[in-house]
């Protein structure tokens, strides 16, 4: 009798697992349930059913998986479901993710296919007891649904519709080609094309506010580096202001040498750490 009961228990467990297999698209997890780390590790991509491409191998919307890993700080697994512009250093992306405040609830409400086989997700959002909506954009890569990350934005995943997802490095490439005189805040002449590109971007996107963050390598004192990085960021704002961008849309700060992307052990690495970054968000 005991053996019979044991067999019956195993049968019920097997039936329960089969019922919730993600091979059956009609049996998904509840929409308000985040995937667990165990779910994702134990499920292979080959089990996914892509009739609904926003669903992951574990039967949960890809944006919810990304957010689930974000909330527990597991950025390595999170980035398996994210498309990151290739011009960003891994350390830079990690720094950006750590500073993000993507802490509100989301719930998928619509899916739209685009002609180039990308897709747009519309999510209902709940922020401070207020309901709203946001759009994300994604693409299927090697049988995995991934959503695009926009590192310059304070809201890293929100899609406004005017982003160039096929060339997502335009703004950063321009920032990387702004050069300063050594240990000074004077912008060199070879920066003219890049400054013009940033100016054009802000003039074309009048609903955008830009925040500039200066960084240095580790030569000099901490206080000197903070001041230098701040004044370099300010120099860019001054250029933009003199050329038609109102100061209400511009802000700046200096981080000094507190956030290096690479070790300051070679001159090449030091040049990488000397930079001004841009962060954009919509005007209130």
**What whole-number distance in Å separates Cα of residue 178 and Cα of residue 1?**
80
DSSP run (H or E) holding 62: helix 62-71
CA angle 273, 222, 75 (to 5 degrees): 45
Dihedral, CA of residue 89, residue 257, residue 201 and residue 281, to nearest 10: 90
In the chain, domain spans? 29-148, 170-282
* pLDDT tens, position by position, 64-91: 999 999 999 999 999 999 999 999 888 8
DSSP letter string, 157-222: S---S---TTSTTHHHHHHHT--B-TTS-PBPGGGHHHHHHHHHHHHH-TTEEEEEEEE--S-S-H
* pLDDT tens, position by position, 108-138: 888 888 887 789 999 999 888 889 999 999 9
**pLDDT > 70: what percent of the chain?**
80
CATH 3.40.50.2000 fits 170-282, yes or no: no
More confident residue, 35 or 185: 185
Same fold, 29-148 and 170-282: no
Closest C-alpha to 182, from 87, 270, 89: 270
Residues 211, 252 contacting (CB under 8 angstroms): yes
How is residue 40 annotated by DSSP?
A: H
**Which long-range contacts (C-beta less than 8 Å, at least 24 apart) are formed by 164-168?**
165/83, 165/118, 165/137, 165/139, 168/85, 168/87
Read off the tokens for 232: 């370099």
- The number of residues in the chain equals 284
Residues 104, 125 contacting (CB under 8 angstroms): yes
**What whole-number distance in Å separates Cα of residue 220 and Cα of residue 14?**
66
pLDDT at 52: 66
Could you please state the CATH topology (level 3) that the domain comprising 29-148 is classified under. Nuclear Transport Factor 2; Chain: A, (3.10.450)
How would you classify the pairing of strands 250-254 and 105-113? unpaired
More confident residue, 162 or 230: 230
Helix, strand, coil shares of the chain, percent, nearest 5, are 40, 25, 40
pLDDT at 54: 72
Mean pLDDT, the chain, whole residue set: 81
């Amino acid at each position: 009798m005991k053996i019979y009961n044991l067999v019956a228990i195993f049968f019920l467990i097997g039936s329960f697992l089969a019922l919730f297999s993600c091979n059956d698209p009609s049996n998904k997890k509840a929409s308000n349930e985040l995937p667990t780390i165990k779910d994702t590790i134990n499920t292979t991509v080959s089990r996914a059913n892509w009739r609904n491409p926003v669903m992951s191998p574990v039967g949960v919307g890809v944006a919810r998986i990304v957010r689930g890993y974000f909330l527990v700080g597991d950025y390595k697994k999170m980035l398996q479901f994210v498309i990151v512009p290739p011009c960003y250093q891994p350390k830079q992306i990690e720094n950006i993710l750590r500073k993000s405040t993507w802490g509100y609830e989301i719930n998928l409400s619509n899916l739209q296919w685009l002609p180039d086989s990308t897709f747009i997700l519309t999510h209902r959002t709940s922020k401070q007891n207020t309901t709203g909506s946001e759009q994300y954009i994604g693409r299927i890569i090697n049988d995995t649904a991934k959503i695009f990350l926009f590192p310059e934005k304070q809201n890293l995943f929100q899609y406004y519709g005017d982003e160039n997802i096929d060339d997502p490095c335009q703004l950063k490439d321009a920032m990387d080609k702004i050069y300063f005189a050594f240990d000074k805040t004077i912008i060199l002449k070879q920066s003219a094309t890049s400054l013009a590109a940033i100016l054009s971007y802000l003039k074309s996107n009048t609903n955008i506010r830009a925040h500039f963050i200066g960084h240095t390598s580790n030569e000099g004192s901490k206080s000197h580096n903070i001041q230098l990085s701040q004044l370099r960021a300010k120099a860019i704002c001054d250029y933009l202001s003199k050329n038609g961008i109102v100061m209400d849309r511009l802000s700046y700060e200096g981080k000094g040498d507190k956030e290096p992307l690479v070790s300051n052990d070679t001159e090449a690495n030091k040049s990488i750490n000397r930079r001004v970054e841009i962060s954009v968000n919509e005007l209130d």
